[in-house]
Amino acid sequence: MGLDYLATVLLNGVSFGVLLILAALGLSIYWALMDVINLAHAAFIAWGAYISYSLMQICGFWFALIVGMVIMAGIGALLYAGIIKRIVGRMPAHSILFTFGIALVLIELLKVFWGVYPKSIHLPQELASVIPIGDFSYPFYRLFIIGVGLLVVVGLWSFLEKTNVGIAVRAALENKEIVAALGINIPRLYLLIFGIGTGLAGLAGFIAAPIVAVDYEMGWHFLLLSFVLVVTGGVGSLGGICLAGIILGILYAAVALITPQLASAVVFAAMFITIAALPRGILGRGM
């Protein structure tokens, strides 16, 4: 086992882990702040990929990257205002069944608008190259994924730590009643957070698409692994999700190079072990 092999496993694992982190961040915030276990997140990931794919045909990759995420954030805000807000505060089983139904409807709409056949995204030349790292070459796009993930995590951390709205979000995680008593509009806060989470799901779908192809079922795989990250890292824990994403991403990549069929099973086994040892996750609950 040479250094090239180890470096490939490490970089593949980190890039895949970053995709899972982007997919899991919104899911975690919904769960922690609103007690909504959102299975429609799978559809949001797929919709983000399809919308950005269509935008890319017209205006190119970079336009699709930004505008697709914004459109998905808007769709998420509209869905919250029209539908999702009705299940906030109910039993978890209600949100699971309700959002599963929404996911099925949204995925059927994907088939209506874009058909059932997978779509391919062709990267711009500057992202499709390979770069030399030591004695081997590595796809630049996977390094780009890591860079995007780093920017998103730093941006989200700055939002939560440095802005008044972010501070209100973190306070609401601890005690919503006190935050409401201070005059902060909790439903409007939920609307904003749901939009951000949906936008991040759309971003994850689009940047994953050149690797896994644009397909109406692509979101389910990411949703399952996102739940693993949320539970392993800690519900609502930004640092915990990032740490879990990198560790589980590397574990997934290492197993996938040997026996791809067992990669997901090993990740789930790691989740069970973590829950048994650390029921609140690696870093516990809270942003």
Using CA atoms, how far apart are residues 139 and 131, in angstroms rounded to an integer?
A: 6
At 286, is the pLDDT very low, low, confident or very high (cuts 50, 70, 90)? very low
pLDDT tens for 4-30 read 778 888 888 999 999 999 999 988 888
pLDDT greater at residue 96 or residue 284: 96
pLDDT tens for 38-75 read 999 999 999 999 999 999 999 999 999 999 999 999 99
Using CA atoms, how far apart are residues 23 and 198, in angstroms rounded to an integer?
A: 9
Using CA atoms, how far apart are residues 138 and 132, in angstroms rounded to an integer?
A: 6
Buried b (16+ CB within 10 A) or exposed e, 128-141: eeeeeeeeeebbeb
Is the model's pLDDT at 1 over the cut of 60?
no
Q: Are 199 and 76 in contact, with CB atoms under 8 Å apart?
A: yes
Is the model's pLDDT at 270 over the cut of 60?
yes
CA distances from 258 to 5, 136, 171, 251, 254 (A): 12, 20, 45, 11, 7
pLDDT greater at residue 136 or residue 62: 62
The DSSP letter of residue 123 is: P
Query: Taking Cα atoms as reference points, which of 205, 208, 251, 206 lies closest to residue 228?
Result: 251
pLDDT greater at residue 266 or residue 102: 102
pLDDT tens for 95-134 read 899 999 999 999 999 999 999 999 988 888 889 888 887 7
Is the model's pLDDT at 173 over the cut of 90?
no
CA distances from 187 to 1, 32, 89, 179 (A): 54, 15, 11, 12
Structural domains in the chain plus CATH codes: 3-277 (1.10.3470)
Using CA atoms, how far apart are residues 152 and 236, in angstroms rounded to an integer?
A: 16
pLDDT at 93: 83
Is the model's pLDDT at 192 over the cut of 50?
yes
Using CA atoms, how far apart are residues 43 and 29, in angstroms rounded to an integer?
A: 17
pLDDT tens for 214-232 read 999 999 989 999 988 888 8
Give me the residue label for tokens 């780009």.
144
Average pLDDT, the chain: 88
This prediction has a pTM of: 0.92
Structure tokens at 254: 């290492």
- Neighbouring residues of 200: CB distance < 8 A, sequence distance ≥ 6: 22, 23, 25, 26, 69, 152
